[in-house]
Amino acid sequence: MSRRALTLLVSGFLVLVLGILGATAKVPYVVLSPGPTENTIGEIEKKPVIAISGRPTYPTSGALSLVTVAYQGGPSSRIDLLTALRGWIDPSVAVVPEETIFPDTRSQKQVEEENTVEMTNSQDYATAAALTELKISYETLVLVASIQKGKPADGKLKDGDKINTVDGRRVTELKTVSDAVRAHKPGETVTFNVTRGAKTLDVTVPTEAGPDGKAIVGVVMQPKYEFPFDVDINVGDVGGPSAGLMFSLGIIDKLTPGQLTGGKDIAGTGTITPAGQVGAIGGIAQKMVGARKSGASVFLTPAENCDEALQAVPDGLRLVKADNLHNAVLALDALRTGKGEVPACGTG
């Protein structure tokens, strides 16, 4: 056999071995890629993404799209080396260590369940934020979500208790409870008035010192909102809290005359608080690519993500900075009318 033929044979064998290894060797990385977009003022499978009943609604136009990130990999379904290599050379894809998405302290199933809970909470927060922006009153209830075992509240308060007052002070938000407890010295008692089933009762709970030396009782709380009409949000198999801003804008658009978008195709992302503050999200680069591919020309960007977004913004996508819901509405008004300032990433 000639030297050339031998070289080709050895090279071919090595390529084959490397190909087999690449296709079979599993690596602890996760591939993040642009996921689907959903128009919050549109429909999924002929059902409105946002359905409002018990309150007049108005026609909408254009799109207010939420954006998502798809992932491959995870502890129970690791990707192969070739998939990771393809991701590393694709600028629209990110390959990140597995523990970034799935910490060692939680299983893949637990992370996915947490994402589902965060999505449900974001829908409630988005509705609360939209109604706050529109100055529509609603009631905030504070419930006991869980009790920390061995802490003072263990055996006294119960999961599902509705906290009405703390030391006689009416409870309207989570902070009311935490402030009232922390106002005590460790060892002092706190009196909770709670509704438990059909009963209303007073429960006295001692306090102890927390890690910072302040008084705690060891209760985890969650808000529950009672809105004056029904807002039902349907997004299918999407998790996480990052669609909050776009849900809020979709609700506002449906509840107010005129079209918030002016017919434009607008996408965006950002968590939302009931007070309307917009928070940072992950996967901004992949979300922008998905938005542009779906036809969006404007992208509402959390202020905290602006620097990162500017490094990867696709051609033809205008970044509009959103630090809170009210300013996002004003920005859309300015885009639609051509009057007023449109805050951009990289300015002010």
Residues recognised as catalytic: 242, 287
Alpha helix positions (H), 265-341: 284-293, 306-310, 325-337
Query: Which residues partner with 206 through β-bridges?
Result: 189
Amino acid identity, position 79: I
Residue 39, Cα to own-chain centre: how many angstroms?
16
Question: Which structure tokens are listed for 264?
Answer: 């434009």
Strands 215-216 and 43-44: unpaired
Nearest CA-CA partner of 249 in 37, 38, 64: 64
Question: Which structure tokens are listed for 159?
Answer: 């999961």
Distance, in Å, from the CA atom of 44 to the CA atom of 168, rounded to the nearest integer, reads 47
Strands 189-196 and 162-166: antiparallel
Question: Which structure tokens are listed for 102?
Answer: 């799935």
Which element (helix H / strand E) includes 27?
A: strand 26-27
| Number of helices followed by number of strands (H, E) in the chain | 9, 22
Question: Which structure tokens are listed for 97?
Answer: 């260590």
Question: Which structure tokens are listed for 69?
Answer: 């990130």
- Long-range CB pairs of 187-194 (<8 Å, 24+ gap) are 187/215, 188/215, 190/166, 190/215, 190/217, 191/166, 191/167, 192/157, 192/161, 192/163, 192/165, 192/166, 193/163, 193/164, 193/165, 193/166, 193/168, 194/144, 194/157, 194/161, 194/162, 194/163, 194/164
Q: 3-class DSSP state for residue 79? A: strand
